[in-house]
Amino acid sequence: MKSRIKIISIASLFIFSAVAFTGCGYWYKHKSPEEKAEWIANEIQEELELNDSQMTKLSELKVIALDMRKDLKESHVKHKQDITSLLAEETLDQIKLQSMIDNKLEYFSKKSPEVVHALAGFYDSLTLEQKIKLREEWQDMAKKHKRHHWH
């Protein structure tokens, strides 16, 4: 059970970091989030050789990720304004700051069951060979990430 949770967590991080990641070169930087998500979904489809049913589940996950991105982007401007106003004061309003953090955590708490359900639906639809391939790709990506960052 623990390994299944780890794999689902890893896959979700892989998919969401891929959707959220914007620094992958000129072409990638100049595309809309929807175009980036479509490109990533196509890459996953090609790499894992997904069937139509699996692609439908991946598309559901993509829609959820894009919705979350949109929600977070919209709230980002307000949060920047709120933080700017907090920093303009002589003393930091800890209650307001904690409230802002609590609201963000509440958003993720509300959305996480939907994300986990969609991710589990996609992951569970994969064949054993596809799951092995996904794990290998994840490990390769983790090695590349570690190589390019100081720790």
Distance CA 85, CA 10 (A): 37
Structure tokens at 3: 């390994």
Distance CA 75, CA 107 (A): 11
List pLDDT tens digits, range 57-68. 999 999 999 999
Task: Kindly state the average pLDDT of the residues 21-26.
Answer: 52
List pLDDT tens digits, range 108-118. 899 999 999 99
Task: Kindly state the average pLDDT of the residues 99-123.
Answer: 91
Structure tokens at 8: 């689902």
CA 62 to chain centre: 9
For residues 143 and 19, the answer to whether their CB atoms sit within 8 Å is no
Q: What is the pTM of this model?
A: 0.68
Task: Kindly state the average pLDDT of the residues 39-65.
Answer: 91
Is the pLDDT reported for residue 134 higher than 60? yes
Helix/strand number for the chain, H first, E second: 6, 0
Q: What percent of the chain has pLDDT over 90?
A: 36
The more confidently predicted of residues 124 and 24 is: 124
The pLDDT value given to residue 75: 85
Amino acid in the structure at residue 57: K
